Amino acid sequence: MTQKTKVIAITNQKGGVGKTTTTINLAAALAEKQKSVLIVDLDPQGNASTGLGVNVNDRVRTTYDVLIDEIPLKDALCDTSVDRVSIVPTTTDLSSADIELQANQGRSHILKRAVDQFVQDHGAEYDFILFDCPPSLNLLTVNALVSAGSVLVPLQSEFFALEGLSQLMLTIREVRDAANPDLRIEGIVLTMFDARNNLSIQVAQDARENLGSLVFDTVIPRNVRVSEAPSFAMPVLSYDPKSKGSAAYRSLASEILMGTS
């Protein structure tokens, strides 16, 4: 493999904006384009793990073990329902990690050490590593930002959406200054977009006026197929490949690959 493994943190401290949906479906879209993807599930709800068909009983080793016991990422890998997509799954055990890590002096860099070692040993097997972050700016998210090369921010097309971005941008700036000077914004993707809704259109306009080229051209539509797919433990690209949601995530993957080349 000629190019380096690209590590992207998918994050927004606001819940319900489509972080996990974007992680799962972006991974599936990249896999369709013959890219190998590893997802690291950092959300204690474990929805990325469930949404990719990893049964709770099969999550023998998880991100909790990587962060608390510092086991290698490779030892926690699981296959998923999607070819070329693997996952380091999680369980609700991870919800206590924030507290347990407080006593660890190098607590912000644990995931980075694990990822750096994994890329050194197994990076040739993966084109992308995606972090599905929790809906808060806690120590799990900070670990992801310290480890990542870039940040992808799903932004729901709703009132107050832009207001929440300022705190995230501040956190990214702090991580750059303190631990990861090369961290950059991969882009901001508008999610749950409804072209019939004036508010969605207004939010999109505001985002593009304020953030310019940081906002992806692709918008993810509000689409019932996207909502239904997780209950079948699969991405929308597997559940309904011809849906508008599938087309949108393929377009997003293409934009990211264009930026990578």
Tell me: pLDDT of 33 over 60. yes
* H or E element in which residue 189 lies: strand 184-193
Give Cβ neighbours of residue 253 (< 8 Å, ≥ 6 apart): 26, 29, 30, 32, 33
Domain of 86 in residue numbering reads as 6-184
Domain-embedded: residue 43: yes
Domain-embedded: residue 171: yes
What is the per-residue DSSP string for 103-150? G-TTGGGHHHHHHHHHHHHHGGG-SEEEEE--SS-SHHHHHHHHH-SE
**How many independent structural domains does the chain possess?**
1
Helix (H, G, I), strand (E, B) or coil at 7: strand
180, 149 in Cβ contact below 8 A?
no
Helix (H, G, I), strand (E, B) or coil at 1: coil
**67: confidence class by pLDDT, cuts 50, 70, 90:** very high
Tell me: pLDDT of 261 over 60. no
Domain-embedded: residue 214: no
User: What pLDDT is attached to residue 3?
Assistant: 62
pTM, two decimals, is 0.94
Mean pLDDT of 69-94: 95
Domain-embedded: residue 32: yes
Mean pLDDT of 6-31: 94
What letter represents residue 93's amino acid? Answer: D
CATH number at residue 178: 3.40.50.300
Residue 185 bridge partners (DSSP): 151
Render pLDDT for 175-222 as a digit per residue (tens, 0 to 9): 999 999 999 999 999 999 988 888 888 888 888 998 899 999 999 999
Does residue 179 come out as left (phi exceeding 0), alpha (psi in the -120 to 50 range) or beta?
alpha
Render pLDDT for 84-100 as a digit per residue (tens, 0 to 9): 999 999 999 999 998 89
Whose structure tokens read 């049964």?
A: 55
Domain-embedded: residue 176: yes
Domain-embedded: residue 94: yes
Arithmetic mean of pLDDT over the chain: 92
What is the per-residue DSSP string for 194-245? -TT-HHHHHHHHHHHHHHGGGEEEEEEEP-HHHHHGGGGTS-HHHH-TTSHH
Domain-embedded: residue 121: yes
CA distance 46 to 51: 9
**1: confidence class by pLDDT, cuts 50, 70, 90:** very low
**2: confidence class by pLDDT, cuts 50, 70, 90:** very low
Render pLDDT for 118-159 as a digit per residue (tens, 0 to 9): 999 998 999 999 999 999 889 999 999 999 999 999 998 887
